[in-house]
């Protein structure tokens, strides 16, 4: 990931408000009208842009709640088909990744497990879930061994290519084989690294970015489910 560009100091000439006021007074009526119209048009465009971001093209105006999540049918690490309904009544802490991931996935799953351990009995209200974006290699047996390395309470989910594509779309997850490794046996995967907290009703509650420390995550989870 590219580093953020450094901030550059800039010089801004000081504006004299009295000169601006005098300019507006001296402006002919026709120019004042045009000036007012331009201001209104800019304000309208800005407002429409914000509205577009909230509701999307052609969609109804919403409350600003993120459009993340939805129904899914997948296969757990025991080979059993499960749906999102099987997790109702509990918060779901969901991360998408793959078992051959060299660094990001194991790091994030360790943070998830450590955060839940720090929460004590309260963590029983949260179900940690790892959904693979590499179903070709991540079979139920592979997932069973993998998730057991992090926490006995963690559920691993896989499925067909279509199953994974559908759930990834619902959770706005990007994934693809890394360029240059597509034809290799030990290919790598590029994927989103967002950690989602979903409510007992299956609706979005909060998200966490990769790099959130276990202590910070534990405190945020406590606040979210209290």
Q: How far is CA 2 from CA 5, 6, 82, 181, in A?
A: 9, 12, 39, 21
**Half-sphere exposure for 25 (CA within 13 Å, toward CB):** 6
Confidence at residue 29, expressed as pLDDT on a 0 to 100 scale: 54
Side by side, the strands of the sheet bearing 204-208 are: 81-83, 73-76, 155-158, 126-132, 91-97, 195-198, 204-208
Burial classification of residue 131, based on how many CB atoms lie within 10 Å of its CB (0-12 exposed, 13-18 middle, 19 or more buried)? buried
Confidence at residue 182, expressed as pLDDT on a 0 to 100 scale: 82
Confidence at residue 184, expressed as pLDDT on a 0 to 100 scale: 86
Look up the pTM and report it: 0.72
Residue 105 pLDDT > 90: yes
Residue 75 pLDDT > 70: yes
Range 59-75 average pLDDT: 72
Question: Got the DSSP string for 93-120?
Answer: EEEEE-TT-SSHHHHHHHHHHHHHHHHG
pLDDT digits (tens, 9 = 90+) for 166-193: 999 999 999 999 998 888 889 999 999 9
Average pLDDT, the chain: 80
């Amino acid at each position: 990931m590219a580093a953020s560009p450094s901030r550059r100091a800039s010089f801004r000439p000081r504006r004299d408000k009295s000169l601006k006021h005098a300019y507006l007074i001296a402006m002919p009526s026709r120019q004042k009208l045009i000036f007012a119209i331009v201001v209104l048009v800019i304000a309208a465009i800005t407002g429409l842009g914000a509205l577009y971001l909230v509701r999307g093209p052609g969609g109804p105006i919403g409350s600003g709640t993120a459009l993340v999540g939805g129904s899914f049918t997948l296969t757990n690490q025991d080979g059993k088909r499960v749906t999102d309904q099987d997790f109702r009544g509990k918060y779901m802490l969901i991360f998408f990744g793959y078992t051959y991931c060299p660094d990001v996935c194991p790091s994030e799953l360790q943070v998830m497990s450590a955060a839940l351990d720090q929460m004590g009995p309260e963590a029983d209200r949260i179900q940690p879930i790892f959904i693979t974006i590499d179903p070709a290699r991540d079979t139920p047996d592979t997932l069973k061994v993998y998730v057991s390395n992090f926490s006995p309470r963690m559920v691993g989910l896989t499925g067909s290519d279509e199953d994974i594509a559908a759930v990834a779309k619902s959770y706005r997850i990007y994934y693809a084989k890394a360029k240059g490794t597509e034809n290799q046996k030990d290919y790598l995967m590029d994927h989103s690294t967002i950690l989602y907290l979903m409510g007992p009703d299956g609706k979005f509650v909060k998200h966490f970015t990769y790099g959130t420390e276990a202590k910070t995550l534990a405190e945020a989870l406590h606040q979210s489910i209290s």
